[in-house]
Every structure is written in structure tokens, then in C-alpha cells.
Chain A
């Protein structure tokens, strides 16, 4: 069984993608088979660190939206009453407000006149690329689409070859995050050692704890902030696998798009250390 590692952090810009890509490369270097899933479908950018991969497959993600056949609508209001998201208003006829719709399909079922039908729309793409022994599957949500869930699910449903599956999760602790980490074997938190990083990571921990997930942490930009990131891990009794000190040289190299595993021997050493710690904790 493949091990699925969710790399998440809450706050944006804590180093989730850097760690996810770096860890994937660290596993690869020991001959393991690795798949990397970019689930940050609003801003997928793992591929920017892996520019020499070759695209092998691309498919559309279709979602259905309710559409009202106005000639059949009698404005009874059942759909509106059913909709928990206030995505339907009924003035003279029912109107679907697409940006609020969560595509549950409930309105279609409750309409006694069969005046609401499902219409299909393309909401994104799943792109698979391979190279250097690595397989990358990225989800792309179309600009203007409000609901990333279906695209995230499609990326996770893709058949992958890796024994290690690294999930580059979106920031936040809401729906997109929950959808991303569901089914993962463990959560690897990337925590910025600042009040901001600590605050947002605490929310991630609450969700992951509710889901019964095993949690480990990596402190990023260690030595720069006020120590709140380390403190929150201690309070939550989460094991810190590594504290990554801030390095201007590494930061500059990454800002050029350099592969996290190759930009600095120090960073490579830390990524190998995290990989080995995970292997040990998982008794692999």
C-alpha cells in the first residue's frame, strides 16, 4: 500500500510546495517510486520547480450545475427552501446563483415539476507529467470557478504508480484543505515560526485531529520569528521532525525557480533527514 503524506500548513507561503517537491525528490533519490499530487488547484505551482517534466496526459474536469427550465417552473419555492447555501432565489421563477452553488443536486430532486435539470460545465483540468522518475499530477481550477472540490477529487482519483504519494495541499483549513487531506496517512505540517504561522497551523491541527490523522511538523524560517510555531507544536504535542533555519542564499536560489533538493547542500541534508525520520516513524 502506498503511503500518502499530506503536506499542509494553514498559512499561505509557509513552504508547503518547497517541502512537498523537496521531499518527493528525497524519496526518489533512494530509489523509491514517488508521485506528487498538486492539490492547490487555485494556484498549482509544484510544476514550476519541476520544469523538465514532460506532459503525458490532460483531461477536463466536468461538474454539473442545476439549470431551471423556466417554462416548467411554478415558483413553489421548494428548491429555495431546500438550498442550504442560498444559491437559489425565487422571484417570479427560480434562478440559480452559480457562485453559491455547491452542486449537491438537492434542488433537482426536490422540484415537483421537474423544472430543474443538471447541465454540465468544464470547471478545470487534471494534467499528468513525468520525468526524472517522478510523476506529477496537477489540478487546475478554471478562473471564475468558485468550488475547487471536484478538481481536487479528480486529482486524487488519478491512478498513480508511487509507493510514496506526496500531497501538496492548499493553504487554509476550509473545504479545499479538508478535501485534500482526506484519506491521507499522515499530515506533515509546515509551520512558520511566527504568530501568523502558529495561528493558522492550530486550525489545521484541529481539523486533522478531528479526522484522527497522525501529525508531524517541520518548522520553517526557524530563528526569524517569535517562536510561536515551535510553541504551538509543543502545546499540541506534535513531534517536530526538523527546524529549517532561514537561509538567504537558499531563498534566493528558490526564488529563481531552483529545485529545492538541488539548491543547497544544507537544504538537501534537511530534506533527507525528514525523509529518514518519516521512514523510521512509519517503520518502513
Chain B
């Protein structure tokens, strides 16, 4: 499983970015390898369609789950279309958010 969190700096300790589509980076955790990676979000400074660029990026990186603070209605539709499960109302540091999700799932 690959889990993404929008973050405000390119590190796993960085705080989650409230805005999904306009976050500058995504922290991605691969539960199989246990590795973290950070990718830039091209939607960060897009004049329009920030959400669609963000969803495309996650999909291109084979992300299965998105954990975010707040996701707009258009982005939600696109995430569903891309087959990415999205959960809202998360906050905290990127790594913590992922741990929190995994322990709630009962796995690691």
C-alpha cells in the first residue's frame, strides 16, 4: 500500500499542509518497502486545476490512500475516479499522520 500526505516542507517530519491541491509537496510512504519519498506537486502554483494536477501526480506515483486535512469537492470526485481512497480531518506531522492511519488499520 502507498500512502500520501500533503506536507509543507520536503521531509517526513514536516507538518501536513491543510490544502491538498495547493500543497507544495507530497510525502509518500510505501508500506511494503517501509520507505518514504517526497514528490513535488505541480498543482502548487497552477493558475487553474490545481486539484487535477495533484490527483494526477498521486495516480502517476501509484498512490492508494490520501490522508489530508481538507479536500475540495472537485478533487474528491477526481480521487474517486482515479481509484484513490481519501480521508480528511487529519493533522500533525507527515510521518505521524501515516503511523496514526496504519495503527487505526490494525497493521503496520
Q: Which residues of A contact B (CB under 8 A)?
A: 80, 84-91, 95, 97, 99-100
Contact = CB atoms under 8 A, between A and B. Distances in A.
B49 A90 contact: no
B61 interface: no
A212 to B, nearest CB: 25
Given A80-B56, A91-B59, A86 B81 contact: no
A201 B55 CA distance: 37
B52 A100 contact: yes
B59 A86 contact: no
Which size class do B's interface residues fall under?
10 to 19
A80 B56 CA distance: 9
B48 A95 contact: no
A89 B82 contact: yes
Contacts of B82: 89, 91
Contacts, number: 38
Interface in B71-106: 74, 78, 81-83
B49 A87 contact: yes
Contacts of B49: 85-87, 97, 100
B50 interface: yes
Contacts of A100: 48-49, 52
B19 to A, nearest CB: 15
A80 B78 CA distance: 15
Contact of A85 (B48, B55, B74): B48
Nearest to A85: B48
A201 B83 CA distance: 46
A86 B48 contact: yes
A188 to B, nearest CB: 30
Nearest to B42: A86
B43 A89 contact: no
Contacts of A97: 49, 52, 74, 78
Given A86-B43, A89-B82, 4 more contacts: A86-B48, A89-B52, A91-B81, A97-B49
B47 interface: yes
A251 B16 CA distance: 51
B83 to A, nearest CB: 8
B46 interface: yes
A87 B52 contact: yes
Contacts of A90: 56
Contacts of B81: 89, 91, 95
Contacts of B43: 86
A229 to B, nearest CB: 30
